[in-house]
Amino acid sequence: MTMILGLYNYWVVIVLMMIGFYMIIAHGNLIKKIVGLNIFQTSVFIFYISVGNIEGGSAPIWDESIILYSNPLPHVLILTAIVVGLATTALALALIVRLNEAYGSINEDEIQAMDNQDMVNHSLSNQHRDQEPC
Amino acid sequence: MLAGIYGLVSASFFVVMDAVDVAFTEASVGAGISTLLMLTTVAMTERTEREARHKPLLAFIVVFITGIFLLYGTFDMPYFGSVDAPSHNHVGPRYTLDSMNEIGIPNMVTSVLASYRGFDTFGEVTVIFTAGIGVLALLGVVRRPEDNSVIEAVNDSMHEQHLILRIIIKILIPFILLYAFYVQFHGDFGPGGGFQAGVIFAAGIILYSMLFGLNIALRVIKQPVVQLLSAIGVLMYGSVGVVSILNGGSFLEYAVLSDDPISGQHLGILLIELGVGLTVASVMIIIYFSFSGRSEYRQSKEGTSL
Amino acid sequence: MLAHLPILQVIVPLMAAPACLLLRRPKLVWLFTLLASALAFIISILLLQQVMIAGTISYELGGWSPPWGIEYRVDKLNAFIAIIISGLSTLVLLASRTSIEKEISADKHTLFYILYLLSLTGMLGIVTTGDAFNVFVFLEISSLSAYSLIALGKDRRAIWSSFQYLIMGTIGATFILIAIGLMYQMTGTLNMADLATRLPEVAETRTVITAYAFFIVGVCLKLALFPLHLWLPNAYVYAPSIVTAFFAATSTKVAAYLLIRFTFSIFGLSFSFTTLPMGTLFLTLGLLGIFVASTVAIYQDNIKHVFAYSSVAQTGYMIVGFSMATTAGLSAMLLHMFNHALMAGALFLALAAVTYRVGATKISDFQGLGRQMPFTMAAIVIGGLSVIGVPLTAGFVSKWHLVVAAIGKDWWVVAGLLLLGSLLAVIYVWRIVETAYFKAPMTGKDSVEEAPMAFLFPIWILASANVYFGIDTRLSVETATAAAKGLFGVAP
């Protein structure tokens, strides 16, 4: 019983992570993939912060009256990770904007289909060229 | 919209977990900038999703295996919140017990972020800078003067309609910018610091730009200047480290920056946080201007308005 | 200054990047970037010299001793890799100014150099640091700059390849972040040397096993080990040619370094290979990678695709060496990392030259190229021979060491399979040679000239290096063996 109480926090985090992960892989819409990526990353942040939590501790800002503080190290790591996540999201969204301009779509299947069509057209025109007398 | 709510919920979770600095950052970044960029992208691409899910079974299998593996891993973990966990008994105690003596500022997160692990933060500023340059490379357009008149006409007609917004925002923006400065310099004593301050400052500028139009905003905040400022922020951070070396210490050893190690720490932290704030604010502005500029560029090419 | 070499290795390119924005003219920016990269190369050589004399160097950042502060830790292994990265970076930069004239629009040139320097910074940072979380930060620097650089390619497929790489790469990086979190949770530290001391106590716990698993998956995504290699071929083909030359020679080596470092120095030999069946797993994946990738390479129309799949195959060879868990196997792997950097650098730079002159690199574009671009084609031939593993080339040396190491473990079947892989390489290399030398140029392509000196100079340095290190193997073999032995001495 104590095990469940002690660990359920992590289990919830894992469920969140998997939701995010599923969204990245399964959804065809590129923006949804990025949302999934964000959920995935944020749940990792929640995991780290949970690791740093001490029962009965307070926020790690010094005050004479407080004896027990929560561990500040995970907080620092997550601050960095949040910023990194934002940087990745910004770049990914910029790519999506360019993809929309180039392909007219932001759906993975449609873009892939257009690329495959390009390759087929290309090899067809190559065949015609090879058959011409040099 | 949901992304914004999700960001706020996780921010509240962080507060409950005593991670106030993180909550602050997540609120401004996750619920703020992230949502803003996603909405901008949606506006520039498509509003509705086409119904095409692919290979849900394969995805489900992969996710299931990964999840099971993680769950398996939790069984030997120290319990949530326990004081005896290794993570609290090795490196952690020095930060909570000694940082006040060694560095002299109450916010332990800032102590660790800016001094003990200051090099990680330098890397982080560089990550932000990289994203800014990347977005510039992807979305940057060279603005030709003759396009401006067409766009201005569209903008002016739109903004005439939002009189109430304009008045309120004109009053609010100075306070937002002032708050950003407060967060920047108060980061030693309470939650805050360079990142949060930079994001808030940028939010003020972005608000201005959203309401009054990109062209007017660009006349005030010129693109080359902002790009230069983002570079200067990173260089400022690095220079503090270089000066430390020249003063006989190792890279980013603030203690050697002044006669008294504690005031050296204070000076070092102040300077690098400024560098961080400068770069973060500039890069956020660059990113927003790039997205916004691209949107107008496409509109002028297509001859349609939003 | 000498004492600060470890940090200077990373700071020089790091601060050079934003400084580029202060310079106005692109030609000046190129020169500045070249100088920064060359300086990083010199520093890496000095570092290796220092390490060979004095042993592992430790540098405390911020004046805080580890594990409370971040430590930079240089031993023979990472000094060796740093030389590979900075050396190849400088050589590729020599040709970059000319190459990007035709492949990237002029207003983006400065941004290109900044991203290039940031990518170099990221890689050098990963390699030099002794702190696990620091690895993550610099991994993201190198990844984000890579996604941006690849997306600069002219074809719209460059953007799509970059996006796919971003998704896979970020999943990998997040897995690594999870792994670091789990390790921290069980040991309370982020410093690599400290982790090495503290992990054995908790090594049998499920959490640590999970941590290792996630780390390996994350690294293998970056390494493009079969079957997680899917992002690589398109990224290499559609990126600007000079970007491909840079990444083909360097980025997978960094991922391989992480694999080695975490397996041997941190988690430890007994945990990785005895408790967990990593040896068998890596052997299987490595062999599959060699055969599947080499076979696919044979059917490719675009020569860049051919050598991209060839690179995936070469990674397979490296992983086979890794799976042996012996000094001989590991030094063979390190040797192949060095030699592959030379091979891939020469080949992709030559392909960049072909793209510059001809405009594309389909097999049909190569008809008659042997006569029109003799020096460039000759370099491709040497590179190709090195990939096959013909004696007198660097590729032969590392394949030889791999086979010998396999025989040393009585893995006769594996040795045979390694040799068989070379035969597949013969097929795809011969296709190119035949088309270039034995077919007449297509109509309309008579006016192709040889590549300009900007290309030929670095191409030929690398091609000659392939031959030189194939004949005089002392330097490369000694360093690789010393580095491998050092790792086995440290591991518990």
Question: Which residues of chain B from 236 to 255 reach within 8 Å of chain C, CB to CB?
Answer: 238, 241-242, 245, 249-255
Query: Is residue C351 within 8 Å of C304, Cβ to Cβ?
Result: yes
pLDDT of residue C137: 95
Q: Work out the mean pLDDT of chain C and round it to a whole number.
A: 89
Closest-CA residue to C94 (of C303, C353, C336, C338): C353
Please give the residue that has the higher pLDDT: either C249 or B219.
Answer: C249
In this complex, do B298 and A110 lie within 8 Å of one another by their Cβ atoms?
Answer: no
pLDDT of residue C491: 38
CA C105 to each of CA B134, B140, B227, C11, C111: distance values in angstroms, whole numbers, following the listed order: 15, 12, 19, 29, 11
Give B253 to chain C, closest Cα distance, Å. Answer: 4
Number of residues that make up chain C? 492
Residue of C nearest to A75 (CA): C181
3-state percent breakdown (helix, strand, coil) of chain C, nearest 5: 80, 5, 15
Total of domains in chain A: 1
Count of CB atoms situated within 10 Å of the CB of C28: 12
Confidence of residue B142 (pLDDT cuts 50, 70, 90): low
Residue of A nearest to C301 (CA): A123
Question: Which residues of chain C from 1 to 20 reach within 8 Å of chain B, CB to CB?
Answer: 4, 7, 11, 14-15, 17-19
Q: For chain B, state the CA radius of gyration.
A: 23
Total of domains in chain C: 1
Confidence of residue B149 (pLDDT cuts 50, 70, 90): low
- Residue B16 three-state SS: helix
Residue C373 lies in a domain: yes
User: What whole-number distance in Å separates Cα of residue C85 and Cα of residue A24?
Assistant: 32
C197 pLDDT exceeds 50?
Answer: yes
| Tens of pLDDT, residues B151-194 | 566 566 555 667 788 888 888 888 889 988 888 888 777 777 88
In this complex, do B250 and C59 lie within 8 Å of one another by their Cβ atoms?
Answer: yes
In this complex, do B113 and A76 lie within 8 Å of one another by their Cβ atoms?
Answer: yes
Q: Which amino acid is at B70?
A: L
For the record, the structure tokens of A14 come out as: 């894992």
Residue C409 lies in a domain: yes
User: b vs e for C78-107, b when ≥16 Cβ sit within 10 Å of the residue's Cβ?
Assistant: bbbbbbbbbbbbbbbbbbbbbbbeebbeee
pLDDT of residue B126: 95
B305 pLDDT exceeds 60?
Answer: no
- Domain of C415? 317-492
What proportion of chain C, given as a percentage, has pLDDT over 70? 98
- Has the ipTM of the complex gone over 0.90? yes
Residue A6 lies in a domain: yes
pLDDT of residue B228: 92
Question: Which residues of chain C from 20 to 79 reach within 8 Å of chain B, CB to CB?
Answer: 21-22, 59-64, 67-70
Question: Which residues of chain B from 87 to 106 reach within 8 Å of chain C, CB to CB?
Answer: 87-92, 94-95
CATH assignment of the domain containing A45: 1.10.287.3510
Please compute the mean of the pLDDT values over residues C254-267 and round it to a whole number: 90
Residue A89 lies in a domain: yes
Question: Which residues of chain B from 267 to 286 reach within 8 Å of chain A, CB to CB?
Answer: 280
Residue C374 lies in a domain: yes
In this complex, do B88 and A78 lie within 8 Å of one another by their Cβ atoms?
Answer: no
Please give the residue that has the higher pLDDT: either C213 or B19.
Answer: C213
Lowest-confidence segment of A31-35, A51-55, C216-220, C280-284 by average pLDDT: A51-55
For the four alpha carbons of A39, A44, A47 and A48, in that order, the dihedral sign comes to negative
For the record, the structure tokens of B238 come out as: 């690095």
- Domain of A91? 2-54+68-107
pLDDT of residue B158: 57
Residue C48 lies in a domain: no
Please compute the mean of the pLDDT values over residues A20-42 and round it to a whole number: 87
CA C194 to each of CA A27, B78, C265: distance values in angstroms, whole numbers, following the listed order: 41, 20, 10
C193 pLDDT exceeds 70?
Answer: yes
Residue C386 lies in a domain: yes
Decide if C416 touches B, using CB distance below 8 A: no
Reduce the secondary structure of C76-98 to three states and give it as a string.
HHHHHHHHHHHHHHHHHHHHHHH
| Tens of pLDDT, residues C29-48 | 999 999 999 999 999 999 99
Residue of A nearest to C147 (CA): A91
| Tens of pLDDT, residues B194-217 | 888 999 999 888 888 888 877 778
**What ranges in C277-411 are assigned the alpha helix state H?**
278-298, 303-323, 327-358, 369-372, 374-388, 394-408
Lowest-confidence segment of A70-84, B123-137, B279-293 by average pLDDT: A70-84
3-state percent breakdown (helix, strand, coil) of chain A, nearest 5: 80, 5, 20
Lowest-confidence segment of A88-92, B58-62, C135-139 by average pLDDT: B58-62
Please compute the mean of the pLDDT values over residues C481-486 and round it to a whole number: 86
In this complex, do B290 and A94 lie within 8 Å of one another by their Cβ atoms?
Answer: yes
Question: Which residues of chain B from 10 to 29 reach within 8 Å of chain A, CB to CB?
Answer: 10, 13-14, 17-22, 25-26, 29
pLDDT of residue A132: 44
For the record, the structure tokens of B71 come out as: 């769950």
Question: What are the E-state strand segments in C13-125?
Answer: 57-60, 71-74
Nearest 5°: the CA angle C84, C231, B130 is 65
pLDDT of residue B111: 85
C120 pLDDT exceeds 50?
Answer: yes
Give B49: exposed, middle or buried? Use CB within 10 Å, 0-12, 13-18, 19+.
Answer: middle
pLDDT of residue B46: 65
In this complex, do A61 and B20 lie within 8 Å of one another by their Cβ atoms?
Answer: yes
Q: How far is CA A14 from the centre of its chain?
A: 14
pTM of the model: 0.92
Chain B partners (3+ C-beta pairs within 8 A): A, C
Distance separating the N- and C-terminal Cα atoms of chain B = 19
Query: Is residue B250 within 8 Å of C4, Cβ to Cβ?
Result: yes
User: What whole-number distance in Å separates Cα of residue A5 and Cα of residue B135?
Assistant: 45
pLDDT of residue B82: 73
In this complex, do B227 and C21 lie within 8 Å of one another by their Cβ atoms?
Answer: yes
Whose structure tokens read 């692990």?
B117
Residue C357 lies in a domain: yes
Please compute the mean of the pLDDT values over residues B135-151 and round it to a whole number: 70
In this complex, do A99 and C159 lie within 8 Å of one another by their Cβ atoms?
Answer: yes
Residues in chain C closer than 8 A to B92 (CB atoms): 188
Strand partners, C191: C131
Q: Which amino acid is at C417?
A: L
For the record, the structure tokens of B138 come out as: 């992807």
In this complex, do C118 and B69 lie within 8 Å of one another by their Cβ atoms?
Answer: no
Which residues have a Cβ under 8 Å from the Cβ of A5 and sit 6 or more positions away? B79
Query: Is residue C442 within 8 Å of C370, Cβ to Cβ?
Result: no
pLDDT of residue C490: 47
Query: Is residue C394 within 8 Å of C387, Cβ to Cβ?
Result: no
| Tens of pLDDT, residues B64-83 | 888 888 888 888 777 777 77
CA C167 to each of CA A33, A37, B42: distance values in angstroms, whole numbers, following the listed order: 8, 8, 19
Which residues have a Cβ under 8 Å from the Cβ of C434 and sit 6 or more positions away? none
Confidence of residue B229 (pLDDT cuts 50, 70, 90): very high
User: b vs e for B274-305, b when ≥16 Cβ sit within 10 Å of the residue's Cβ?
Assistant: bbbbbbbbbbbbbbbbbbbbbbbbebbeeeee
What proportion of chain B, given as a percentage, has pLDDT over 90? 20
Please provide residue C360's backbone torsions phi and psi, each rounded to the nearest 5 degrees. -155, 170
In this complex, do B41 and A26 lie within 8 Å of one another by their Cβ atoms?
Answer: no
Q: How far is CA C227 from the centre of its chain?
A: 18
pLDDT of residue C318: 92
User: What whole-number distance in Å separates Cα of residue C369 and Cα of residue C385?
Assistant: 18
Residue A75 lies in a domain: yes
In this complex, do A87 and C140 lie within 8 Å of one another by their Cβ atoms?
Answer: yes
pLDDT of residue A128: 58
